[in-house]
Structure 1
Amino acid sequence: MSPSELNAWLGLALTPKLGGLSYRKLLAALGGPEQIYATPIHTLKQYVNADVAQRIANGIDLASIQPTLDWLAQPNNHIVTLADSHYPQRLLEITDPPPLLYVKGRCDFLNQPSLAIIGSRSTTPQGQLNAKNFAHNLADAGLTIVSGLALGVDTAAHQGGLQGAAGTIAVVGTGLDIVYPASNKSLAHQIVEYGAVVSEFPLGTPSIASNFPRRNRIISGVSMGCLVVEAALKSGSLITARLASEQGREVFAIPGSIHSPVARGCHYLIKQGAKLVESAQDILDELRWQTHTAPSTAPALISDPLLDNMGFEPCHIDALIARSGLTAQTLSAMLLEKELMGLVATLPGGMYQRLI
């Protein structure tokens, strides 16, 4: 892309009140951005309101695009437009693809076969383990993992994707000069090295709540399917799952405890027709993915009297004392040992949960 073409793409993208729909309408009617800037104002008014038409007729606001040009001069930073060969081809199948994407990392990941893994920010230890294991095994099978860099399931999915062969893509709801949440800054830097961080929002865009449902259509849009690990009934993950279904993508869900609030969203999706999955291989089979058999995402069950007494539901320590016949002191020591081994997680309120 020539510098003048890039300036024109950015100039339109940063024009106040020119949304994606109007931007695409101009492209369809008038040609590329340089042709749009050369169009008389009376013609522009046929497609956008008078204020936007006047801004375009005034020419490219070089001052407004300069910070982005400076950002592009830094390593690993890219702009990918609808006219670019790196633009995700699957996004062209959805009704409202963004005219351009800001990308930090490797553009070649944008057209790799991929699967979205999403879920609750307030996830359970088992949910985190499931997200990480599914992501790792699916990435090893050749599917790049797509998620939203949020806390909880998203974080675990990215971590698993980074451990696998196909890496991970984070689609965020802020400008790429901002990492949200800030606690994931180190993770975002790792993703830049072994994948890509992507946004449709200009630099400097803060974490506005309305941006996150918008970015969800990109998470599902670039993916072959969407796996929901854990979700409450009012979770944003259900929005992404609905968008995935509307986009013709496969929707998968992991079932959980009937008592768990973060399993109810998954159970709802399964009732609505989502595929119930227990392993990465279930997803690969549904996608008819030609690869070696993926290892099971569920660790082999360990035979242990204390773990057997716990079951797979969160369990209060008083109930464990009653079931096991052990003293509180002995039981606490055993639970600490198993927690250090990664077999048990401590939950609030004196609760424990078996992980394997």
Structure 2
Amino acid sequence: MDECPPESEQPLLDQIQLNLIHGVGPRIRQTLLEHFGTASQILKTPRQELLNVPGIGKKLADAICYRTAKSTAEDELKRCREFGYQILSEEADAYPSLLKEMPDPPSLLYCKGTLLPEDELAVAIVGSRKCTHYGLQQAEKIAGALARSGITVVSGLARGIDRAAHEGALKADGRTIAVMATGLSHIYPPEHQGLSEQVARQGALVTEFPLDQAPVAGLFPQRNRIISGLSMGVVLIEAGRKSGALHTARHAYEQGREVFAVPGRIDHPASAGCHDLIRDGAMLVRSVEDILEGLGPAKTPVLTAESREVHTPRELVLSEFERDILNLVTLEPLHLNEIVQSSNLDSSRILSTLTILEMRKVVKRLPGGFLVRATG
């Protein structure tokens, strides 16, 4: 006789079971939650009540009532634990807070690897699978520069720009997150199996789909909202006018994220979508500094690996000495003499570095010789 699961685990099992039912996507799930409150209550709801919910037909109502799925929640959770995967619900501490800001966040996040608090400081890089050598170069270069600045690089594990973005972050010994449109048991494309292992070691593979979900064309656009949702901004590199990466840009706009685009040759169709975005107001990217400048202040201070608070992403490209001088400046106005006297360093070096920090817009000069740390 099978043992009953612990009572504390039942809400998670009910969320897994609802997620396993074919036809319950993000919008249907949100509608059901608005009517019934929790996954547990949805699964207990009589068929006729389900049919009264807009968008719920007979077939889906039957699937929910009879819990029709290829596998059970218990099996799914057991397999994840055997493989060392996590299943994070929205209530879990490790569930990314940026995703909770979305109108349709994933109910569950399957994770291979580790999500860390510093991953809240993330930028997505997306673009065409069929890209040029120039596009690959720029994706790897920009991803590496972001990673060296302490920013996690998010992408979709696809061929082309996505792969170059992940590899750029990995080569810079930075963190990277791959958002998949399949289950963790189906790495797609299959030739990225080795890359996926590297990503899991230096970041995480994440997906909202059950373990056995195979590649289906319609799931890739759905996945794209998570790529933008995990990020403070999205950088597009070589997106043609029909590129799926443009879906990610649209999601980013809807979620209030910043959108950046790298220009290409004006006569090459591979960059036509990027040029359209720039014309319509996306920020043009010439270097990583443009991205850091465009992100503006982080919504909350984030601790870097050096345990220093970051108040604006522009601080991430500072040298170690510049950061040391910046930390002499506080959020409350201090007179220049007080700042110099608070350090044993040569005053001329402090003064020249403060001038550089002011030019970099991480320090503001106030009337009367006072300085204050910039937060925007």
Q: Does 1:224 align with 2:232?
A: yes
Aligned partners of 2:97 and 2:120 also within 8 Å: no
Counterpart Cα distance in 2 of 1:262 and 1:75: 39
Choose from 99, 106, 111 the match for 1:103.
111
Counterpart Cα distance in 2 of 1:231 and 1:67: 40
Q: CA deviation at 1:140?
A: 1.7
Give the TM-score normalised by the residue count of structure 2.
0.72
Q: Does 1:293 align with 2:301?
A: no
SS in 2 for 1:198: strand
Counterpart Cα distance in 1 of 2:70 and 2:118: 29
Counterpart Cα distance in 2 of 1:31 and 1:126: 49
For residue 291 of structure 1, what is the amino acid of its counterpart? E
Matches within 5 A, 1:162-173: 162-164=170-172, 166-173=174-181
Aligned partners of 1:114 and 1:224 also within 8 Å: yes
Match for residue 237 of structure 1? 245
Counterpart Cα distance in 2 of 1:44 and 1:271: 46
Q: CA deviation at 1:111?
A: 5.0
Matches within 5 A, 1:243-282: 243-282=251-290
Matches within 5 A, 1:81-100: 81-100=89-108
Match for residue 31 of structure 2? 25
Which sections of structure 2, spanning at least 5 residues, go unmatched? Answer: 1-6, 297-312, 320-376
Counterpart Cα distance in 2 of 1:87 and 1:28: 21
Q: CA deviation at 1:51?
A: 4.1
SS in 1 for 2:116: helix
Q: CA deviation at 1:109?
A: 6.1
SS in 2 for 1:74: helix
Counterpart Cα distance in 2 of 1:29 and 1:146: 34
Quickly say closer, same or farther: Cα 1:109–1:75, change in 2 above 3 A: farther
Q: CA deviation at 1:193?
A: 0.9
Aligned partners of 2:13 and 2:74 also within 8 Å: no
Matches within 5 A, 1:37-52: 37-47=43-53, 48-52=56-60
Q: CA deviation at 1:149?
A: 0.5
Match for residue 14 of structure 1? 20
Q: Does 1:142 align with 2:166?
A: no
Matches within 5 A, 1:49-64: 49-58=57-66, 63-64=71-72
Counterpart Cα distance in 2 of 1:62 and 1:207: 16
Q: CA deviation at 1:287?
A: 1.2
SS in 1 for 2:144: helix
Quickly say closer, same or farther: Cα 1:63–1:211, change in 2 above 3 A: closer
Cα deviation 1:140-161 (Å, max 9, x = unaligned): 2121111011111100100112
Aligned partners of 2:88 and 2:110 also within 8 Å: yes
Which sections of structure 1, spanning at least 5 residues, go unmatched? Answer: 296-356
Counterpart Cα distance in 1 of 2:213 and 2:187: 11
Aligned partners of 2:150 and 2:316 also within 8 Å: no
Counterpart Cα distance in 1 of 2:40 and 2:204: 28
Give the TM-score normalised by the residue count of structure 1.
0.76
